[in-house]
Amino acid sequence: MSSTTDVLNSVRASESGLTLAELLSAHPDIARRTAQRLIAKLIEKGQITALGEGRARRYFAVGIHVGINTQADKSDRFPPFIPLSADSQDILAYIDQPTEARKPVGYQRDFLEAYRPNETWYLSGSLRRQLHKMGRTSDVDKPAGTYSRAILNRLLIDLSWASSHLEGNTYSRLDTFELIEHGKAARGKPAIETQMILNHKTAIELLVENIGSAEFDRYTLMNLHSALAENLLPNPADEGRIRQHAVDIGKSVYRPLPTPQQIEDALDVLLGKAKQIRDPFEQSFFMMVHLPYLQPFVNINKRTSRLAANLPLFRANLCPLTFLDVPEQAYSRATLGVYEMTRVELLRDLYVWAYERSTQEYLAIKQELAEPDPLRLAWRDVIKQTIRAVITHAELDPLAIIQRSVAQHVPEQDQPGVQALIVEELRRLHEGVLARYGLRPSEYAAWKTFHAY
């Protein structure tokens, strides 16, 4: 009989449950660490549950102890196909307890203060080497952002869809494609879901288009949050602004910092440390850990952290982290492990698994990508500025504006080609791409009304 079966049978035989000490006493041949791993696996499989903490923590067979929230529903279990370390299993065993059995805890400033950039490592050297090997692209030695620009159309769809899906958004990947590529909102979907997708698109474009200047600083972070939060918060003043009051975390016993001054002080430390981290994956994962933990905004903190985690990868021309196929129940538990235990192992295991999934997609599609149009790439700013000028000056002749702008900014030999590109962009303009040109839907609607004939 296996050790796992021995432990399970002992727990099943006791209606009042067993502590770890009692289990070890019943099975002196099983080492303490081994017993902890076996218990974690049985909890993951939904065969036993736990109640209490520390030495008083007791383990019960599912269905034996009346009144305990066992979380045995398979749809809510941590997915078994994501490989976990023993440390991650320990975190999961604690997080899967009912909230009343977990100890309420506040923000631990020491967790952030103890981190020393380029000395402390959440990702081991071997893991970082593995991630670099997985994510390396042929553009690795090119200017920052070359790869993310090359895959931008696909990236906008995948990351917008997957990140929104983690927030309960019911748009399908095809729905997201239709919205982003053709401006067609999915029928029957709440407006809030459409807005969430479009906000992701705007925020991703913000990072990619400003890759040369975007840093882990207040300006980048606040504007990233503002883009993701537009039209989604009860108080629009909270878009891109430090949280002004205390918040609770759903299904958690974690209580974030309550006052703006405390949040601002911790945020400055967080960003200062993030800036110093030299390895792009460590920097990415650091933001995944500490930004949601701090909860600097009234809402939309995890979304902001998922996009912020991609900034170092965009800059280093590595494959992006799109969160494709990441189950919500895995992501939420991994984040709770940070919130309630200040432990990163479960989130780390999920990060590595998720990144491998992302790279499989992107290294495969890279072969299918056409090279960017060099003329469009060289004059992209002029094209965008001209489109914006056309739309915001509806009373003027569009062709006259285009001709004047091209004559002022583009060498004579390139003028016909650039003018043709601008006309083509204007014809394809729709609500789903307005943020690219710094335009609002109301401006576009006014222009269409003026030129309707």
Centre a 10 Å sphere on the Cβ of residue 127 and count the other Cβ atoms it contains. Answer: 18
What does 69-111 look like in DSSP terms, one character per residue? -----GGGSPPTTS---HHHHHHHHHHTS-GGGSPPEE--HHH
What is the three-state SS of 369-413? CCCCCHHHHHCHHHHHHHHHHHHHCCCCCHHHHHHHHHHHHCCHH
Going by C-alpha positions, the residue among 164, 165, 146 that lies closest to residue 203 is 164
Looking only at the bridges linking them, the beta strands covering 18-19 and 105-106 are: unpaired
Distance CA 228, CA 192 (A): 12
Residue (of 317, 443, 338, 439) closest to 384 by Cα position? 439
DSSP string, 187-235: TT--HHHHHHHHHHHHHHHHHHHTTTT--SSHHHHHHHHHHHHTTTSSS
Measured at the CA of 328, the angle between CA 103 and CA 136, to 5 degrees, comes to 110
User: Do strands 254-255 and 18-19 pair parallel, antiparallel, or not at all (unpaired)?
Assistant: unpaired
Query: Using an 8 Å Cβ cutoff, are 279 and 124 in contact?
Result: no
Q: What does the DSSP assignment read for 286-335?
A: HHHHHHHHH--SSS-HHHHHHHHTTHHHHHTTPPP---TT--HHHHHHHH
CA proximity to 123, closest of 291, 290, 351, 304: 351
Report the distance separating Cα 142 and Cα 316, nearest Å. 9
What is the CATH architecture of 105-368?
Orthogonal Bundle (1.10)
Contacts of 410 (CB under 8 A, 6+ apart): 379, 382, 418
Give the whole-angstrom CA distance, residue 269 versus residue 216.
11
Sign of CA dihedral 382, 383, 388, 393: positive
Residues 6+ apart with CB under 8 A from 226: 239, 240
Tens of pLDDT along the chain (453 residues) come to 478 888 888 887 776 678 888 888 888 888 888 888 888 888 877 788 877 666 777 888 775 433 333 343 445 678 888 999 999 999 999 999 998 899 999 999 999 999 999 999 999 999 999 999 999 998 999 999 999 998 999 999 999 999 999 999 999 999 999 999 999 999 999 999 999 999 999 999 999 999 999 999 999 999 999 999 999 999 999 999 999 999 999 889 999 999 999 999 999 999 999 999 999 999 999 999 999 999 999 999 999 999 999 999 999 999 999 999 999 999 999 999 999 999 999 999 999 999 999 998 776 665 555 556 778 878 988 999 999 999 999 889 898 999 999 999 999 998 988 998 898 888 888 877 888 888 888 888 888 888 865
Quick one: fold of 3-77?
Answer: Arc Repressor Mutant, subunit A (1.10.10)
Residue 359 one-letter amino acid: T
Residue 431 pLDDT: 78
Enumerate residues 6+ apart whose C-beta is below 8 A from 373.
Answer: 421
CA–CA separation, 253 and 101 (whole Å): 10
CA distance 128 to 384: 38
Cα–Cα distance for residue pair 453/450, rounded to 1 Å: 9
Q: What distance in Å separates the CA atoms of residue 238 and residue 244, rounded to the nearest whole number?
A: 8
Contact 223, 205 (CB under 8 A): no
Looking up tokens 């981190």, which residue turns up? 115
The helix or strand, by DSSP H or E, that contains position 255, with its residue range, turns out to be strand 254-255
Q: Which residue has the tokens 């009144």?
A: 67
Helix (H) or strand (E) holding 51, with range, is: strand 48-51
For residue 68, the model assigns a pLDDT of 36
Let me know: does 276 contact 116? Beta carbons within 8 Å: no
- The predicted structure's pLDDT at residue 442: 86
Closest CA to 313 of 265, 336, 279: 279
Report how far apart, in Å, the C-alpha atoms of 305 and of each of 62, 85, 270, 288 are.
36, 24, 12, 5
Domain ranges for the chain, please list them: 3-77, 105-368, 374-450
